[in-house]
């Protein structure tokens, strides 16, 4: 550690004003503060002081995602072997999944960070660390056989149109990772929906076992094939087809625990999202006219990307509501709308993505009314006293 610090201090002058590599100043600064806590302190204005800075916060989110990444890699291999009728050991499953998923993660990071660094250099900003999280979330919410160039295009779109045009990290209206997924969903629907895309090798026609359909439980439920639904335990543990990182509710809950214990994720948002989904599920149960609407409400929380969205997407501190009361309304409506879109609109089986993006747009409005309401309440109190 010490020698690293010494090395950084030695090369630092080259990157400062007047140095040889002056032009790469923000790139250097990004790496330095990534390795060590920044020595710069604020000098103006009022600040909340915390030992944790943004890079450390982001690192915790990445840590929380690790269980889903590992499980997702294993699951990719598991389903590939199941579809092709082979036997795979735990390690073989994992290794195959690793070979498929790792390139996607690399592409996502290289493209996203490349654009971030380019913008930061061009604008003379410090490089923001927001993409550290988006870069790992994007691979987790897409099907495993998404071509790498599509990942690159979607990542570029998400970073440029979803984030940089609004002013970079902290200014974006919508969650960048979901923007990337929405882009893929509408731009290349044949690679993002259907039954074949979720299992590695099925598009290429490698799925030779007839009894293996590759359909996600959500698709089965939407089609009314309730008999094909996996058991609740399977859905909870996550041995079901789906996007890379979203199948295992268990792994996601481990991540949620990490986020909540460290205080990085908002418990209000996570819990109210689950409550919203339950509420809509129960409401649909009451007015059920088909089997999908009769699906027990709690199962909605296990299906599709609901848990992943609630824990890792809805809690994005930039695009979510900021006020405590607003967070509850925001989370509740995400869960509520996600299940509504999923059940009522057959064209969009993945309601979670659309619900979160929609509520991202409404989050500032919710905050506005929460604050206005508070101001009115306090004004009233002031008048009574006077």
Partner 1 sequence: MSAEKEPLFSSKNIKLLTGPLNDSNPITVQVLGICSALAVTVKVKPAFVMALSVLVVMAVSNVVISLLRKTVPPRIRIIVQLVVIAAMVILVDQVLKAFLYDISKQLSVFVGLIITNCIIMGRLEAFALSNKPWQSFLDGVGNAAGYGVILIIVAFFRELLGSGTVWGFKVIPESVYDFGYENNGLMILPPMALIVVGVIIWVQRAKNKKLVESN
Residues in contact with partner 1 by the rule CB under 8 A: 147, 149-150, 153, 161, 165, 183, 186-191
Other beta carbons less than 10 A from residue 241's beta carbon: 29
Rg (CA), the chain: 23
* Cα–Cα distance for residue pair 242/261, rounded to 1 Å: 28
Distances (CA, A) of 233 to 23, 236, 238: 55, 5, 8
- Smallest distance from partner 1 to CB 264, Å: 32
Residues of the chain by 3-state class (helix, strand, coil), percent to 5 = 65, 0, 35
Between residues 150 and 329, which has the closer beta carbon with respect to partner 1? 150
SS (H, E, C) 103-131: HHHHHHHHHHHHHHHHHHHHHCCCCCCCH
Q: Return the number of the residue (162 or 281) whose C-beta is nearest partner 1.
A: 162
- Least distance (Å) from partner 1 to the CB of residue 258? 35
Rounded CA separation 175/360 (Å): 7
CB 188, min distance to partner 1, A = 5
Contacts of 253 (CB under 8 A, 6+ apart): 307, 311
Output 117 or 166, the one with its CB closest to partner 1: 166
Comparing CB distances to partner 1, the nearer of 149 and 298 is 149
Least CB distance to partner 1 at residue 27 (A) = 22
| For partner 1, the closer CB: 34 or 166 | 166
DSSP symbols for 293-327: HHS-HHHHTTSTTHHHIIIIITT-TTTS--SHHHH
The CB-of-182 to partner 1 minimum distance in angstroms stands at 9
* CB nearer partner 1, residue 203 or residue 343: 203
Minimum CB distance to partner 1, residue 218 (Å): 21
- Let me know: does 242 contact 300? Beta carbons within 8 Å: no
């Amino acid at each position: 550690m010490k020698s690293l610090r010494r090395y950084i201090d030695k090369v630092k002058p080259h990157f400062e004003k007047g140095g040889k590599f002056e032009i790469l100043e923000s790139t250097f600064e990004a790496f330095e503060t990534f390795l060590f806590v920044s020595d710069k302190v604020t000098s103006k204005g009022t600040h909340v002081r915390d030992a944790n800075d943004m890079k450390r916060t982001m690192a915790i989110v990445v840590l929380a995602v690790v269980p889903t990444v590992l499980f997702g890699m294993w699951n990719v291999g598991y389903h590939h072997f199941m579809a092709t009728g082979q036997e795979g050991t735990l390690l073989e499953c994992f290794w195959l999944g690793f070979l498929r998923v790792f390139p996607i993660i690399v592409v996502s990071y290289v493209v996203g960070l490349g654009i971030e660094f380019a913008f930061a250099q061009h604008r003379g900003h410090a490089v923001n660390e927001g993409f550290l999280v988006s870069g790992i979330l994007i691979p987790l919410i897409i099907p495993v056989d998404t071509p790498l160039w599509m990942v690159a295009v979607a990542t570029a779109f998400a970073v440029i149109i979803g984030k940089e045009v609004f002013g970079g990290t902290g200014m974006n209206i919508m969650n960048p990772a979901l923007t990337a997924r929405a882009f893929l969903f509408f731009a290349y629907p044949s690679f993002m929906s259907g039954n074949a895309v979720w299992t590695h090798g099925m598009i290429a026609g490698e799925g030779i076992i007839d009894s293996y359909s590759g359909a996600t439980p959500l698709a089965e439920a939407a089609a009314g094939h309730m008999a094909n639904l996996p058991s609740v335990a399977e859905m909870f543990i996550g041995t079901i087809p789906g996007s890379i990182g979203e199948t295992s509710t268990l792994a996601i809950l481990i991540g949620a625990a990490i986020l909540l214990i460290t205080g990085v994720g908002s418990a209000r948002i996570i819990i109210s999202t689950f409550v919203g989904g339950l509420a809509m599920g129960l409401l649909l149960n009451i007015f059920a006219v088909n089997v999908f609407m009769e699906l027990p409400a709690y199962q909605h929380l296990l299906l599709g990307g609901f848990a992943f969205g609630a824990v890792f997407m809805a809690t994005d501190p930039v695009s979510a509501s900021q006020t405590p009361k607003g967070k509850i309304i925001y989370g509740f409506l995400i869960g509520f709308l996600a299940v509504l879109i999923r059940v009522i609109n057959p064209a969009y089986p993945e309601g979670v993505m659309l619900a979160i993006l929609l509520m991202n747009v409404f989050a500032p409005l919710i905050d506005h009314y929460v604050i206005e309401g508070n101001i009115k309440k306090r004004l009233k109190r002031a008048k009574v006293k006077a």
